Structure 1
Amino acid sequence: MKTILVAINVEKNADRLLAKAEEIAKAFDSKVWILHVSEPDPDDYLGLEAGPQFAQDKRVENRKREGELVKRLAAGLQEKNIAAEGVQLAGSTVKMIKEAVRKVNADIVIAGHHKRNFFYEMFVGSIEQDLMEDLNVPVMLVPVKYKE
């Protein structure tokens, strides 16, 4: 198990996920890839800009903050002598995680598990379930809080 991909969503939950990654990385001398998937840009409609300027500015600001978080988390692992890199992609969460697994040749994915009620799962679905079904590598789900 040489490559671990940690899919983070919010900073609050990142510590729990990275603690598990650190534990595995130390045991197997693994490299840790920290992935954050940002919301995708809305599709342009007939060549028009994607939303009003304030919405575009907010998206850029969020991506910058998220990118800085990923770099900071990777640096924290590097300070503990664990090989780590951060990557930020924009798009569908499951699709981007699948792409990252392929690109970095991940042996395991560590992701947060958000407990939701039956009706939410029935109508909206579950990213965790999609990951379990779509990936060809083990997925470790770590219980985390849903709200920021």
Structure 2
Amino acid sequence: MAGQSEKASVLLPVTPKGEALALLARLWPGLDLDAVELTRPPRRARWIAPFWAARSGCGYDERVFVSVKGLVVRRTEVIPHAKPQSLAVTQNLLTKALGLAEFQLHSTKGPVAVTARFRDLREARALLEAQAHRSRTSRREDVPARWATD
């Protein structure tokens, strides 16, 4: 929106879980985030983030990719498969030494980036390949959202 910062691209920066789920149900009828199976980072990720790694995870279903993170404040990032504009697997020296990587799904300019941190490198690469396929397929089949026209 005109005159607003790029933070405006975050749908609900802070809201009770019930309100967020109600809005997501309106955006994507039938979406059940609780049904998305999340996988945790490998145990060796605890060398870097001992408490955080145990409380994070990522997963996907036929419509969206989901990343959950946060020790004290929980953050759930959801992106439809058709929306990422680019994908990446990154490492720094420490994660490389531990065989870990970060999987990133980039969308529009601004604070819209979904990340799955401290993943096994092979898993991160597999996530990238599978997500690239899901994104291509979803873009071909994507119907523009009309949720705001009711």
Q: TM-score range by the shorter chain?
A: under 0.3
Q: Which has the higher contact order (CA 8 A, sep 6+)?
A: 1
User: Under a length normalisation based on structure 2, what TM-score does the superposition of the two structures give?
Assistant: 0.27
Q: Give 1 or 2: higher helix fraction.
A: 1
